[in-house]
Amino acid sequence: MADFSSLGLSDWLVQQCKQLGINKPTAVQENCMPAILQGRDCLGCAKTGSGKTAAFVLPVLQKLSEEPYGIFCLVLTPTRELAYQIAEQFRVLGKPLGLRECIIVGGMDMVSQAVELSNQPHVVVATPGRLADHIRSSNTFSMSKIQFLILDEADRLLEQGCTDFTKDLEVIMGILPAKRQTLLFSATLTDTLQELKSIAMNEPFFWESTSETRTVEELDQRYILTPEKVKDAYMVHLIQTLTDQHDDWSIIIFTNTCKNCQILTMMLREFNFPVISLHSMMKQKQRFANLAKFKASVYKILIATDVAARGLDIPTVQVVINHNTPGLPKIYIHRVGRTARAGRNGVSITLVTQYDIHLVHVIEQQTKTKLKEYPVEEKAVLKILTQVNMARRQCEIKLESTDFDEKREINKRKQLILQGKDPDLEAKRKAELEKIRSQKKKFKQKIQEQVQRQKCGQLKKKPMKRQHVKATE
């Protein structure tokens, strides 16, 4: 196996890695770093927790040390928390250089960010929305000379999911030089591969982990089959058993909506579990504070939406619980990747209801892994069922009495205004689209019923035909 020196890394960086306990390169580092150091564009697809961040941070630092200036490198990433995590790796590894890095994310003071940008930091780590806002609103900084553009979680940045980054990316690309090195990394690059290749202008070096499975072997992947109505009771029982058996373990519970995240947090607190939450309806300062408390093990349980699904690197996380089965395999891959990182062990447990079984099959096909059943004592679950369901209902009522839904509506409207859209017009358009969709669905159903009826008719006719043939014989 290669070591960092033989990959072309300078002694000072090798020493810096050693100080952090990073002694041997991981596969993604061994394969991508020489190409990056040679000046090539790079597309790297490797499992979560396999050292992707250092695979681009180290070569950038090496090149920066040869020709230090600002702004040398721009890293784009989909979530604010990830931006902080990446900046931290730059800060720690780049300490001997006196590296100046700056983080540009939403929810934080824009004026101080503008000042930092005008001071020409070596590295800027940003979420696309806020950086595009700075570009639109000021001309106090220039990115026309950057050497490196890095898209971390590149597929998420390019897909048109609930947060669509494409418009902001267009604005950002508009101020970047054509001559640059572009590096794209993710655990799930393959879906958007062609689009990604077009962003990397020169024929990029492409490396994908060759392993059969898309999750790591150290991860024990489990499921619990539960009726929808009993799901919360299973979860409470599961957390109780896990915390009783392993009081030093940290657990992340993923759920599908901000509201659910809030309700589950309130409910688990009723049962005296040390829970804290992370979702996009919280103020950014609160998000950072909660994450810091979870990282420091002040709270052992984090309930989060998919805003925490990608990239977060918290070594103490031993268990990931999926309170809902993810609808997309790639979301599953990122969520369960929050544990079993950098060669450590971990467990993921997915709660599967009667409506989710097909989703598990798709996940198993994509990850090429068979999920095993997690044994649960059903009697113990039934004992707490009424208590848990009552607690949930009480929390729902409590939340309804706050302005949570109202805030969500206001947030949505804010986002639309920021995107230059009229919220009322958008609502009208959405309603019309919904109407067309439901009409289409009804039409499709009608056709299917007709086809079904025709088929049944033909089946009934067939034996009669045979009888007729027999009679004429």
Which positions touch ligand AMP (CB under 6 A)?
22, 24-26, 29, 49-54, 313, 341-342
User: Are the C-beta atoms of residues 237 and 388 closer than 8 Å to each other?
Assistant: no
Q: Which is nearer to ligand AMP, 14 or 384 (CB)?
A: 14
Q: What angle do CA 189, 338, 281 make, to 5 degrees?
A: 90
Q: Which of 244, 241, 265 shows the shortest CA–CA distance to 254?
A: 265
Please give the sequence-ordered ranges of beta strands (E in DSSP) within 153-242, or none if there are none.
Answer: 181-186, 205-208, 219-225
Residue 316 C-beta: closest distance to ligand AMP, Å: 11
Q: Which is nearer to ligand AMP, 46 or 301 (CB)?
A: 46
Structure tokens at 433: 């689209």
Q: Which is nearer to ligand AMP, 295 or 323 (CB)?
A: 295
How far is Cα of residue 273 from the mean position of the Cα atoms in its chain? Answer: 25
CA distance 176 to 162: 26
Residue 375 C-beta: closest distance to ligand AMP, Å: 31
Residue 338 C-beta: closest distance to ligand AMP, Å: 10
CA distance 212 to 193: 19
Residue 49 C-beta: closest distance to ligand AMP, Å: 5
Residue 4 C-beta: closest distance to ligand AMP, Å: 8
Angle between helices 80-93 and 284-295 (to 10 degrees): 60
CA distance 203 to 183: 12
Residue 204 C-beta: closest distance to ligand AMP, Å: 20
Q: Which is nearer to ligand AMP, 263 or 291 (CB)?
A: 291
Q: Which of 14, 15, 19 shows the shortest CA–CA distance to 29?
A: 14
Sheet holding 301-304, edge to edge: 275-278, 301-304, 250-254, 317-322, 346-352, 219-225, 372-373
Q: Which is nearer to ligand AMP, 232 or 313 (CB)?
A: 313
Q: What angle do CA 268, 272, 275 make, to 5 degrees?
A: 55
Q: Which is nearer to ligand AMP, 133 or 313 (CB)?
A: 313
3-state DSSP call for residue 351? strand
Q: What is the 8-class DSSP label of residue 67? A: S
Strands 42-45 and 317-322: unpaired
Residue 366 C-beta: closest distance to ligand AMP, Å: 20
Q: Which is nearer to ligand AMP, 49 or 329 (CB)?
A: 49
Residue 19 C-beta: closest distance to ligand AMP, Å: 12
Q: Which is nearer to ligand AMP, 14 or 376 (CB)?
A: 14
Q: What is the 8-class DSSP label of residue 371? A: P
